[in-house]
Amino acid sequence: MVSRERLLTLASRGAELANARYFRLAGHILLLGGLVFLLVRLRSILHDSNIHLANVGWGWLAGATVLGVLAVIGSSLFWLVILKRLGSPVRWPSAAIYLQSQLGKYVPGGVWQYAGRGAMARGYGLSVRAVAKSLPIELAATVCAGAAFAFLAIGWWGVIAAAAAIAATAGFGAYFDEGRTALRITAQAVPLYAALWPLIGISFWMTARAFIHVTPSDLALYTGAFAAAWIVGLIAIYAPGGIGVREAVLVAILGPRIGSAEALVVAAASRAVFTLADLIPAALSVPLLRRQAHRAAETAPPT
């Protein structure tokens, strides 16, 4: 049996590898290459559908990207809320750590964004122990929030089910005392992440609106479909960022309604939109990360 010390050593080494400059650079290159391939593939998919490139609503796509960026930034700030509730002093520029490490999810394995965050914590003045505790809390809260919104795929009746699930989870947290801090904070974090799903759902709906005719009454369906597909893609850790798996689920849910070819176009376009939504904040956060590193160096005790 592998000892606990050995497991910690392997985890630390994996985190250092994930944060290594060459590893991150290779990941960024793969991500950009994948995005280019996706855009080229999207163009070829359009030829197999009834959608014409000249009729694409680029304004809708731009708006969808903006909402996706806001959702990613919101996720980074909510992660800081979790750290603060764990007793770790944080400043909002530390959100840049989340935004940078988020790109690690596009590397096969499904854990690199978390490993990268853990590795960056020490160098940027965050408590490594608090960061390690925050990761399963964040993951559980995001999954619970997404699962609640997946109810919307059954139609507007799902709104009641989603609201009830979120309210029940939030109320559940009141039953935990300080001795069960992780469970209490998880339950408290679910409503925070649930607040992001309307942004994500509208972003996906706007992406569909750029290619096909959808109405506001379709919003619940598209939000629920994306939530369900996101959860399945998250479980498929072998697929970087759930690529391929998420799209297959979206086609399965939306195909009977809008046609398989059209659903594939929407799914592929949403992949491009949400990839940009990860890239843009990561690029904008570089100055914040440098400021955070400078502040951490100033406050570090002399050796």
| Residue 153 confidence (pLDDT) | 85
Distance (Å, whole) CA 236 – CA 123: 31
Across 91-105, 110-124, 283-297, the highest mean pLDDT is recorded for: 91-105
**Alpha helices of 21-176 — where are they, by DSSP H?**
21-47, 58-85, 95-101, 112-123, 128-150, 157-172
CB atoms within 10 A of CB 78: 20
pLDDT in tens, 155-198: 666 777 777 877 777 666 555 555 577 888 888 899 999 999 99
The secondary structure of residue 302, as a DSSP letter, is: P
Mean pLDDT for the chain?
Answer: 78
